[in-house]
Structure 1
Amino acid sequence: MSAAGVQLMQSVGLIEKDTNGDTLWVWCYPSVRTELRELLVRKCSLTDEIHPFVFGQYQRTWFYIGAVQIQDAAVLREVTRFCVILTAKDFNPEKYMALARILCRTYEKHGSPEKLMESYMAVLTKGVCPNEDNGSFLCKDYDVRKAYLAGSVKDVVRQFGMETVILYTALMLKKRIVVFHPRVETVQEFSRTLPGLVWHRQDWSILHPCVHLTEEETEALKACTGYIAGFTESEVSNRLDLYDVFVNLVDGEITVSPAAKESMVMGKLHKDIGQLIVQSAEDPEKSDSQVIKDISLKTKEILTTLASFADTASDGEKPSINFEALKQKRFPPATENFLFHLAASEQMLRV
């Protein structure tokens, strides 16, 4: 395993719910700051319905939580449930879900943090550890590109049809998107797919798929310029300070906030993009990755058009677009409005 790969993993921790009903942080290696510990105890949900795997991001630290309901109390006699928590710098749910499951089985079998430590250190130093099922966990089996493509763009389009172009536009303009559903797994699966609509950026750092309406979490979210944030609390629909676009997965509705409507006006260009997305996604011969490629080619076409209006840049400088020069092209108002805001989001605009 490369040194860069080793450096992606940051810590492993253990949270237990005991027979008295108390949820406690019982062990970690090497360390987790107090603020993050408190957040992770909240995320593990050991007091409510148990979620086998939850992932999210807080202040550029990814967390992955594997949870277990104790079936055989012979080893962990005073524990009813526990979570293994991994923190890392990279987005790769499948990789950390596989590792979390191995660590959970190890702890349930041996009841010893030392055994957890052995497996964790093997992955940290060698990129591999034995699996209790007579196999091996190999970091190199989990390419980040596979993680990026794991969601289904076709499912998104199946649910929202032409309205998918609202999500595309919001992502292109680096707007704030909030996704709501009471089931965390549904929120995570949907929200992780959305960055694929702007594949040219390949930026999953905008994803925050498991957020609670606490002050510390919402303030951390507000510090980000554009994001996709997943919530399971219905009250988030009233928090206009948190979103430009609200996706209600229960009702199958997408709402643009009043403050964002001016920059999100739809026109012929958006209709053309929407039709391309729908036609590509509805083609039974096309895979999700092929749909993403089709959308990416359209995006490249738009960005090439935008760049053609830019002044010649000096070496190392980004091309810049003069707003007055853009107006002289006499695009339809909605198209001009979109290109203006796109130039601003791509840091190409010179007013």
Structure 2
Amino acid sequence: MVSGEGSGYNVFEKDCNGDVLCTWTYPSLTTQQRDLAARKCRFDGLDTHFLYGQFRSLWYYININEAPDATKLPKVRQFSICIWTSEFNPDKFEALSKIMGRKYNSTGEQVSVMEIYLAATAGGQISDPGFSFCSQDFPKSLSHESTNLKEIISNFGLESIIIYTAVLLKKRIVVYHHDMSTLLKAIRSIPAFVSHRDPSNTLFPCIDLHKDEILNLKSYASYVAGCRDANVTSSDLFDVFVHLPAREISIASNARESMAMTRTHKEIAFFLVQLSQNESLSEQQLVTAVSAKTNDLLEQLRNLATTTTSEGKSVVTLESLRQNSFPHAMENFLFNLAVAEDIMML
């Protein structure tokens, strides 16, 4: 289990009067962490009991619980467990936060929750009767059992090539949906378009249009961010905007030239749609097929890397691009792809 600076957890409680307080913090978290967790712990009007996101290179995982036993928690109606860690693994921390919540409900004691947390973070497992947990049951790699790329392609059809290209070129992507669970599923699925990269550093599953979160997001050159606030459409936070309920994708004016479509894009778009229509393909098989198509494209790019730097790295140059007499849109796309893959000599 990964721990480190900024790691720990909060407990927030909503009492019988409707007041919400942070009642426990371990070991110590910043004021910004506490304030962000308080904003995210929406006890009313949230369609899911588990959510997660990233802020300042730390992941937070929030599990919201009812408090049905008045004998154990007589003044509490609801409470939330918010775990902070540097590790991206939603499945693992959903399981751990659920166990911590069950422990609090069954004992009503904050110390017993801390013991569960320490057992998981120090030893990677919990052997408390009725509260089984083993960190090794949750591999760090992105599980395609938790993605639904096929549904995204099916919903957007040929236009899904825009999302694919935006991820490939490391653009700023913002996804909107009012339903948190739908939004989280989409944000986790979109990076599977380009599975040869680790998406965890640039995923922001549920941002609010709050100053701290906007400033944090703007410190990144590229990302996939989710938002439940429809006002995000009028912001300057995206190159590509995905409106999930309306099944619409828009490209910001500043990104249109680099996102210009070519014959290659058209071929990949039809390929994606054909994959999504194949009912016999599993999610894993679809992601593998998309990855193979992307590798073919990257191999074409690597063949243009005919110059070697002093460090022995093969790179693409403007001269090598122009020598091939590509159409302008294709040359522009390959240039931007080489920049995204960090093999372009600038």
What band does the TM-score fall into relative to the shorter chain?
over 0.9
Structure 2 residue aligned with 1:71, among 56, 60, 68? 68
Deviation string, structure 1 residues 13-43 (Cα, Å, up to 9, x no partner):
2011112222111111111111111001001
* Cα distance in 1 between the residues matched to 2:76 and 2:68: 10
AA aligned to 1:343 is A
Name 1:313's counterpart in structure 2. 308
Alpha-carbon distance between aligned partners in 2 of 1:114 and 1:317, rounded to the nearest angstrom: 55
1:17 aligns with 2:49: no
Match of 2:284 among 271, 286, 289: 289
Instruction: Note if 1:220 corresponds to 2:216.
Output: yes
CA offset at residue 285 of structure 1? 1.9
What's the counterpart of residue 326 of structure 2? 331
Do residues 274 (structure 1) and 242 (structure 2) align?
no
Distance 1:74 1:50, change over 3 A: farther
Determine the C-alpha separation between the residues in 2 that align with 1:252 and 1:117: 44
- Residue pair 1:196, 1:202 contacting (<8 A) in 2 also: no
State which of 147, 152, 165 in structure 2 corresponds to 1:151. 147
RMSD: 1.8
Q: Per-residue CA shift, 1:276-333, capped at 9, x if unaligned?
A: 2222222222111111111111111111111111134247443222113202211222
- Percent identity over the alignment is 36
What secondary structure sits across from 2:165 in the alignment?
A: helix
Give the stretch that moved more between structures: 116-125 or 69-78.
69-78
Please say if residues 12 and 87 of structure 1, whose CA atoms lie closer than 8 Å, have aligned partners that are also in contact: yes
TM-score of the two chains, using structure 2 as the length reference:
0.95
2:203 corresponds to which of 197, 200, 207: 207
| Alignment-derived partner of residue 87 in structure 1 | 84
Task: Please name the residue that 2:246 is paired with.
Answer: 251
Match for 2:25: what amino acid? C
Equivalent position of 1:188 in the other structure: 184
Superposed CA deviations along residues 226-260 of structure 1, whole A, max 9, x for unmatched, are 00110000000111x10000010110111111111
What is the correspondence of 1:95-244 to structure 2 with a 5 Å cutoff?
95-130=92-127, 134=130, 136-147=132-143, 149-239=145-235, 241-244=236-239
- 1:92/1:147 contact within 8 Å kept: no
- After TM superposition, the score normalised by the length of structure 1 is 0.93
Distance change (3 Å), C-alpha of 1:238 and 1:15? same
After superposition, the Cα gap between the structure-2 partners of 1:289 and 1:87, relative to the gap in structure 1 and judged at 3 Å, is: same
Question: CA contact under 8 A between 1:91 and 1:147: conserved in structure 2?
Answer: no
SS in 1 for 2:82: strand
**Distance of aligned partners of 1:107 and 1:180 in 2 relative to their CA distance in 1, 3 Å threshold:** same
Kept after mapping to 2: 8 A contact 1:206/1:227: yes
Count of residues paired in the alignment: 345
Output the CA distance in 1 between the equivalents of 2:138 and 2:122. Answer: 17
Distance 1:32 1:187 in 2: 27
SS of 1:326's partner is: helix
Structure 2 equivalent of residue 53 of structure 1: 50
1:50 Cα offset (Å): 6.4
Residue 165 of structure 1: CA displacement?
0.8
SS at match of 2:212: helix
Unaligned runs of 5+ in 1: none
Contact 1:12 1:85 in 2 (8 A): yes
CA distance in 2, matches of 1:230, 1:50: 15
Unaligned runs of 5+ in 2: none
Asked if the contact 2:59/2:84 (under 8 Å) is kept, the reply is yes
Change (3 A) 1:131 1:181: farther
SS across alignment from 1:200: coil
Report if the CA contact (8 A) 2:46-2:180 is conserved.
no
> In the aligned structure 2, how far is the partner of 1:33 from the partner of 1:172?
35
Matching residue's letter, 1:303:
L
1:35-54 pair list within 5 angstroms: 35-49=32-46, 51-54=48-51
Match of 2:28 among 27, 31, 39: 31
178 and 146 in structure 1: CA distance in 2 versus 1, 3 angstrom threshold: closer
In 2: Cα distance, 1:175 partner to 1:44 partner: 30
Residues 45-88 of structure 1, C-alpha deviation per residue, up to 9 Å, x if partnerless? 12544631011111110000000122222211111111011111
